[in-house]
Amino acid sequence: MCSKIFSSKLKTCFLILLSTSFIGQSDSANDSKKLEIPESAFKCLAELTASGAFFVDNLLGNLDATLAVANSDEGGKYPAGSLVTLVPNEVMIKHLEGWNPGTNDWEFFLLDVSAEGSKIAARGTEEVGNRAGSCYGCHQLARPQWDLVCGVDHGCAALPFTREQIRGVQNSDPRCTTEN
Ligand code: HEC
């Protein structure tokens, strides 16, 4: 398909093809270790449990184990089923051990959130990102004991937002306006 395109566009075309095949790679993750994730798993932040600046849940009913790691001063390995979120439209979920060792079995989600609920806009491993770049690209900077969770001082570059701005986004989660 690229050969039919005027040569100055060839490089761009090639890059598009390359990134398309890159996205396809998420299928190579081990499916038997993959949790089923219905869109109803993504709730209004106020229904989750706060830990520091972010919120957590556990899709396998193991919230205490998730909180133990999230609230630890020393970090640790989040258990399967852990759901972590800072702002309504960005979520990390931990699949069963061995699903995708490259991301410590975390899957990254970008959501479209509205009063009607959450729709998955993008999901996957190293390739998923937002306008600022790849989720994994930033989160891998967290020191190893933090299991790709950036927190405020785990080694990631700080986001260009103040704590007030982040709290403002958290407090205006459109999903919280409906009774569940
Ligand atoms: C530009 C770097 C960057 C990108 C890109 C990025 N993040 Fe983050 N993320 C951070 C930082 C830094 C924090 C901690 C912010 C804070 O609390 O000060 C964070 C916080 C979070 C948290 C709360 C838990 C934690 O790690 O502190 C989740 C969940 C999260 N991000 C998910 C995502 C997802 C999903 C994507 C992609 C759709 C994404 N992030 C893209 C840097 C990034």
Residue-wise pLDDT tens digits, 19-76 = 444 444 444 568 899 999 999 999 999 999 999 999 999 999 999 999 999 999 999 9
Residues belonging to the chain: 180
**17/65: higher pLDDT:** 65
**What is d(CA 79, CA 103) in angstroms, rounded to the nearest whole number?**
14
Residue 8 pLDDT more than 80?
no
117: left (phi over 0), alpha (psi -120 to 50) or beta: left
Ligand 1 atom index nearest CA of 134:
5
Ligand 1 atom index nearest CA of 146:
26
List Cα–Cα distances, 27 to 21, 93, 157, in angstroms.
11, 17, 30
- The residues lining ligand 1, judged by C-beta closer than 6 Å to any ligand atom, are 53-54, 84-86, 90-92, 108-110, 128-130, 132-133, 135, 138-139, 149-152, 156, 158-159
Residues 76-89 have a mean pLDDT of: 98
Candidate from 58, 67, 69, 90 with most ligand 1 atoms within 8 A of CB, to mutate: 90
Residue 90 pLDDT more than 70?
yes
The two three-digit tokens of residue 82, written as one number: 């852990």
Contact 176, 44 (CB under 8 A): yes
CA-closest candidate to residue 112, choices 101, 123, 104:
123
Nearest CA to ligand 1 atom 23: 86
Contact 147, 156 (CB under 8 A): no
Residue-wise pLDDT tens digits, 132-179 = 999 999 999 999 999 999 999 999 999 999 999 999 999 999 999 755
Torsion of CA 130, 57, 101, 86, to 10 degrees: 30
What pLDDT is recorded for position 29? 66
| C-alpha 3 to ligand 1 mean position (Å) | 39
